[in-house]
């Protein structure tokens, strides 16, 4: 019964957030490879720092498969330095391109013809790719209906009493996917798009995708908005949060972290 209640509550979160903030235009990017590179660069980094690294790659003519192939490793490390862990991230970007060349002849089109679960396992086998990065690539570059679970989503659900802190990534992912089954994001006028974490529309954020993938796309962006503005890592700033109405009633007269 509790599992069914959790599904219904997450669905209510989606409806409330989308009504309040509208489309979030995730993932910002011009090409599929830019999205993939961003998924690597944003690991353990603020998006603003990943964006700086992407801008440096673009300015150097290296924000492409061929650009990564051609760039000497020390040069690539220098370009992605703003994203932090620059040695590992440069090496991992090189590793992705080598994987694509060896397995798919350097073609993203061929790679994304693979069944979702097959490709997910292949991505998870690459250095520097965990479940969140793999699912970001699948959802945002491949337009596959796979929900991306990040620290924001886990924190919000834990503080709302929907999942324990030790819930596995796949447990949380499947909970979101059950909750969003059948949800259809409704078009909104541009002037109504005022989300907390909304990006400027981009070619990739407007790419064609299934209704289910679009729902996952929007919910992930909306949860990021809650996490960045209200459900902070250091404390919960609940006043004014669109999800405040769903908080469990505190037993001790105050809300904990």
Output the pLDDT for position 249.
76
**Cβ contacts of 120 within 8 Å, gap of 6 or more:** 134, 135, 138, 146
User: Which of 140, 221, 211, 224 lies closest to 180, judged by CA?
Assistant: 211
Output the pLDDT for position 191.
45
Output the pLDDT for position 187.
73
Residue of higher predicted confidence among 168 and 194: 168
Residue 256 above 70 pLDDT? no
Q: Give residue-wise pLDDT tens across range 228-241.
A: 999 999 999 999 99
Least confident of 48-62, 132-146, 192-206: 192-206
Q: Give residue-wise pLDDT tens across range 19-46.
A: 999 999 999 999 999 999 999 999 999 9
Average pLDDT over every residue of 128-148: 98
> Residue 129: how many CA atoms within 13 Å on its side-chain side?
24
Q: Give residue-wise pLDDT tens across range 64-113.
A: 999 999 999 999 999 999 999 999 999 999 999 999 999 999 999 999 99
Rounded Cα distance between 194 and 132, Å, is 26
147 neighbors 173 (Cβ within 8 angstroms) = yes
Structural domains for the chain: 2-26+148-185+194-246 (1.10.1670.10), 32-141 (1.10.340.30)
Average pLDDT over every residue of 161-175: 95
Output the pLDDT for position 194.
53
Percent of the chain with pLDDT over 90: 87
Residue-averaged pLDDT of the chain: 92
Would you state the structure tokens that stand for residue 236, as one six-digit string?
């919960």
Rounded Cα distance between 250 and 248, Å, is 6
User: Which of 45, 29, 32, 127 lies closest to 80, judged by CA?
Assistant: 45
Output the pLDDT for position 186.
80
Percent of the chain with pLDDT over 70: 92
Average pLDDT over every residue of 243-256: 72
């Amino acid at each position: 019964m509790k599992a069914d209640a959790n599904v219904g509550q997450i669905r209510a979160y989606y409806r409330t957030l989308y009504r309040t903030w509208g489309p979030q235009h995730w993932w910002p990017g011009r090409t599929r490879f830019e999205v993939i590179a961003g998924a690597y660069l944003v690991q353990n980094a603020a998006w603003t720092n990943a964006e700086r690294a992407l801008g440096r790659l673009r300015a150097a003519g290296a924000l492409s498969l061929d650009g990564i192939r051609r760039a000497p490793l020390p040069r690539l490390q220098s370009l992605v330095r703003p994203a932090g862990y620059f040695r590992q991230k440069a090496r991992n970007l090189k590793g992705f391109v080598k994987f694509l060349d060896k397995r798919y002849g350097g073609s993203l089109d061929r790679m994304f013809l693979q069944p979702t679960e097959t490709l997910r396992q292949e991505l998870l086998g690459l250095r520097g790719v965990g479940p969140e990065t793999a699912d970001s690539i699948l959802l945002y570059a491949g337009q596959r209906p796979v929900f991306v679970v990040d620290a924001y989503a886990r924190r919000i659900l834990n503080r709302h009493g929907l999942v324990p802190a030790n819930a596995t990534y796949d447990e949380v992912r499947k909970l979101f996917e059950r909750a969003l089954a059948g949800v259809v994001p409704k078009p909104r006028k541009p002037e109504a798009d005022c989300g907390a974490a909304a990006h400027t529309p981009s070619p990739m954020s407007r790419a064609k995708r299934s209704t289910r993938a679009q729902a996952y796309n929007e919910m992930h962006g909306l949860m990021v908005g809650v996490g960045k503005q209200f459900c902070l890592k250091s404390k919960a700033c609940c006043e004014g949060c669109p999800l405040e109405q769903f908080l469990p009633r505190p037993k001790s007269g105050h809300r904990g972290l």
